[in-house]
Amino acid sequence: MERIMKAQALRDSSMTSYMISKKTMEVNPKHPIVVELKKKSDADKSDKTVKDLIWLLFETSLLTSGFSLDEPNVFSNRIHRMIKLGLSIDEDDMDLDDDMPPELEGEEGTSNMEDVD
């Protein structure tokens, strides 16, 4: 229902507070992931990696339950940080030019569209 109300073109902003569903996350305290997160959190309360993992656990449970994320860019940035951490990629070692596709060889003013036919 929440998604339907957000999609309405002529929605009343005062009604959205009534239609937003209250989200409840039930956590199994004996699950190995929760136990390990608790240990790491108790060891260092300011560890950004642990905070990212906890937020990822929450956001993935939202997605699994059919809810949408308020800030999907934050979620994707968190996923990218975790992938970099898992692959031991340092932020300073990254070359942002590697993301660009290779340039086509040929003259600069010409188009290679004719070569397709």
Q: Per residue in 42-63, pLDDT tens?
A: 999 888 889 999 999 999 998 9
Tens digit of each residue's pLDDT (9 = 90 or more) over 8-26: 655 566 665 666 667 788 8
- The residue written with tokens 């996923």 in the block is 79
Is a pLDDT exceeding 90 seen at residue 93? no
Give the C-alpha separation, 62 to 69, whole Å: 7
Give the C-alpha separation, 45 to 31, whole Å: 20
Give the C-alpha separation, 50 to 75, whole Å: 15
Model-level pTM? 0.61
Please provide the average confidence, as pLDDT, over all residues in the chain.
Answer: 77
